[in-house]
Amino acid sequence: MKYFFIRIFLFTFVFSLPNAFAASVWHTSTIKNIYPVSDGDFIIIFKAASQCKDRNQYHRVVVGSNGINAEGSKKLYSAALAAAAMGKTVSINFDDSSSNCFINRMKVNY
């Protein structure tokens, strides 16, 4: 009987784990706006809506969030500016577990 309850507990625990972690979501679109903020971070708004829970569809690049460091933030900002200037689509990977939609990586689609 003791093992029965342990098995039920483990079964329930294992199947509830996927909801406890952040989900990485890919989104591809052209950039509508790039919005630098005073602390050096920036926000990207896309022409096509994503699964971001933020009502303004702000996708954020914030140093210290979702694995981004200062050097990575600079590279993402440069890539976003270049893509926006050329009208190219970008594909981003962001965390959709909160309404902050922290971007982790980006690729410019040529």
**What CATH number is given to the structural domain containing 71?**
2.40.50.50
Q: From CA 17, how far away is CA 3, in angstroms rounded?
A: 21
**Closest residue by Cα to residue 92 from 76, 80, 82, 103:** 103
Residue 28 has pLDDT above 50, yes or no: yes
Is there a domain that residue 100 lies in? yes
Residue 18 has pLDDT above 70, yes or no: no
Is there a domain that residue 2 lies in? no
Model-wide pTM > 0.85 = no
Mean pLDDT throughout 62-88? 97
Is there a domain that residue 73 lies in? yes
Q: How confident is the model at residue 1, as a pLDDT?
A: 60
Query: How high does pLDDT run on average in the chain?
Result: 87
> Which of the two residues, 66 and 7, has the higher pLDDT score?
66
Per-residue burial over 82-106, b = 16 or more CB atoms within 10 Å of its CB, e = otherwise: ebbeeeebbebebbbbeebbbbbbb
Q: From CA 39, how far away is CA 44, in angstroms rounded?
A: 15
Q: Domain residues for 104?
A: 24-109
